[in-house]
Structure 1
Amino acid sequence: MKKLALLGLSLFINLIGYSQAFTIRDLSSLSDHLTYKRNNENTYTNIEGSPFLDENFVVGKVIINDSILIENVPLRYNIYSDKIEFKNANGQILEISNSGQVYQFKLGSHTFLESEYRTKNETEQGVLELLVNGNIKLYKKYRIELKEATKAIGFQDAQPNRFTPLDDEYLIAEGDAIPQVIKNPKILLEELKSYQPDIEKYIQKEKVRVKTESGLIRLIRHCNQ
């Protein structure tokens, strides 16, 4: 108990940089400081399709408040619940809920974080993928919907409950600002001219397709130079 109390006290020391951060081998060891919601895999048994970006768990890293590093954590992203799930040492699948901490998740080539973000009409909270880091940041929001089963009508066959992917959304943020959904590429280009006045010439010369993910990544990287 005394060791646990000392660990709990240490977790709140202000640390700078990962070189000075605590490295913890098992995310479950922070159960006194985080709120978990148990995930029931049977929830999706009778639903066609998958709510996950990848059903398989990928061994990754969790960074909390830029100071606590947890390595070798089996992680996956549930797009439908908009939560990162992890598997503990006992094989239990748990869901990391928002508990006022700042999380960053590294799963293979993907980097996710929980963040506020702005759509056209409101501010929401969710998991975003960081595509480009820098003074201008580019994010991706995965989206999926659950369509209810329908009966056969005329020539239309019956359809089961099913997950249907929606178009991904892309967001941009300057500095530490809240990411905003990119609604209009033309407006985006006007805003980016303050970083690269010749941005339209760059697009034409390099044949950048602004409406594609790869094009947006190239564009934002160019503006960060």
Structure 2
Amino acid sequence: MKTKKLIVLFSLLFIGFGSLYAQVDYQISSALDFYRQKELTTGEFNKQLEESDIKGSPYLNKAFEEASIFTTTKVQFKAVPLRYNIYTDMIEFETPDNTVAALAAPEIVEKIEFKDFTLAYVPYMSLNKMKRGFFQVLELGSTSLYLKPVVQFEPPQEPGAYAEAKPAEFNRKTDDFYIRFGMEAAELVGNKKELVLLFPDHQKEIESFIKSKKIKTRKAEDLKELVTYYNSL
């Protein structure tokens, strides 16, 4: 029976998109089932430097937290110890033998629900190229708002004539915000003028709303209010 169960779970992970939309409910699976899915768990995570040698943290949540993984094939893995590495844009997990690895196939992840936040794996535009990555979900609808945390790695510096040596360090930078229309690639929120241009069908209304509400493009609550308003038009 165990072998049969594993075959069924393995097959579910690779169901084509044609049959995907015929499914409504997620099949609930345990963390143990997650560890058995080699396509999800074979991505060994290698560090160039020992974490103890680096100041700061590359993680959104440094400690592993139990979370639920929802796949694009409508399978939900519950209570899996996970953490998000902002710098590598990888989801790391802790195995029962206390080793750390990273998801090998993030493209089959629809979303990951932690206690205090949700991550989604979505396409986005970067320097006129489409990429895919993990984003924190702020607002979902026909138009959605995402937050992309940013961490910069500063290499160690040798001591100079007038400066002391500095260890390697991870520095948390200002978060980026992205707006996604339907299933299109998410677009980076720039300044107010660039933000208005993201809404070609309602530019006058959006421009007026931004002025009247004094919307700031670097404030999550302001952008959530804007996206909610646009979805109501």
TM over 0.5: yes
Partner of 2:147: 140
Partner of 2:210: 203
Partner of 2:74: 67
Aligned identity (percent) is 25
73-82 vs 31-40, which moves further: 31-40
One-letter code aligned to 2:40: L
Q: Does 1:213 align with 2:215?
A: no
Partner of 1:110: 117
Shift of 1:53: 1.0
Give the SS at the match of 2:201: coil
Partner of 2:11: 9
Q: Does 1:20 align with 2:20?
A: no
One-letter code aligned to 1:113: A
173-182 vs 202-211, which moves further: 202-211
Q: Deviations over 1:86-123 (max 9, x none)?
A: 22333332211236423311112311122331113322
Give the SS at the match of 1:155: coil
Shift of 1:82: 0.9
Q: How many angstroms apart in 2 are the aligned matches of 1:84 and 1:161?
A: 22
Give the SS at the match of 1:56: coil
Q: Does 1:101 align with 2:124?
A: no
Q: Does 1:131 align with 2:138?
A: yes
Provide structure 1 residue ranges, at least 5 long, that are not aligned to the other structure.
none
Distance of aligned partners of 1:125 and 1:3 in 2 relative to their CA distance in 1, 3 Å threshold? closer
Count matched residues.
225
Distance of aligned partners of 1:6 and 1:120 in 2 relative to their CA distance in 1, 3 Å threshold? closer
Shift of 1:195: 4.3
One-letter code aligned to 2:210: I
Partner of 1:224: 231
Q: Does 1:172 align with 2:179?
A: yes
Shift of 1:161: 1.0
- What is the Cα-based RMSD across aligned positions, in Å? 2.6
Partner of 1:58: 65
Give the SS at the match of 1:150: coil
Distance of aligned partners of 1:148 and 1:48 in 2 relative to their CA distance in 1, 3 Å threshold? same
Q: How many angstroms apart in 1 are the aligned matches of 2:5 and 2:216?
A: 56
Q: Conserved in 2, the CA contact under 8 Å of 1:17 and 1:66?
A: no
Higher helix share: 2
One-letter code aligned to 2:116: S
Distance of aligned partners of 1:76 and 1:162 in 2 relative to their CA distance in 1, 3 Å threshold? same
One-letter code aligned to 2:29: I
Distance of aligned partners of 1:57 and 1:205 in 2 relative to their CA distance in 1, 3 Å threshold? same
